[in-house]
Amino acid sequence: MKVVLQRVKYAKCTVENQVTGKIDFGYLLLVGFKTGDTAEILPKMVKKIANLRVFEDENGKMNKSLGDVKGGILSISQFTLYADLSGGNRPSFTHALQPDAAKALYLAFGTQLRSLGIPVEEGVFGAHMDLEFTNDGPVTIIIEF
């Protein structure tokens, strides 16, 4: 499982001119699963994201978590995180988890984040999505288990 986490001031996902998810501030997560990933990995990723301290405290140091600042998450499924370019210029996605299994994990991931009281908005799995956001910092972190 790989997550590209971006601290954002604002994020919105639109599918076919319909807003499917929107947050005022917090994290935009691009979420991908690789072949072999199972639900056993989700609690570790959820814990890491919930406890990650990348928001500034009163001294300007990254010392506060998402919960400390009462932020939200916009979670977007992103199988292209597992693109393989070793064979040329056209990406291969053979390392990405099959869509049915990836969708189940993606939805379970959102459910586990919500179980911690984190507001989570989502894109639409497998859809063409338009993302609009303002990266704050910029702060972008890649987490992979």
Q: Which residues are catalytic?
A: 78-80
Instruction: Give just the sign of the alpha carbon dihedral 83, 96, 54, 22.
Output: positive
The phi, psi pair for 143, rounded to 5°, reads -120, 130
Burial 12-47 (b: 16+ CB within 10 A, else e): bbbeeeeebbebebbbbbbbbbbeebeeeebeebbe
The phi, psi pair for 21, rounded to 5°, reads -165, 145
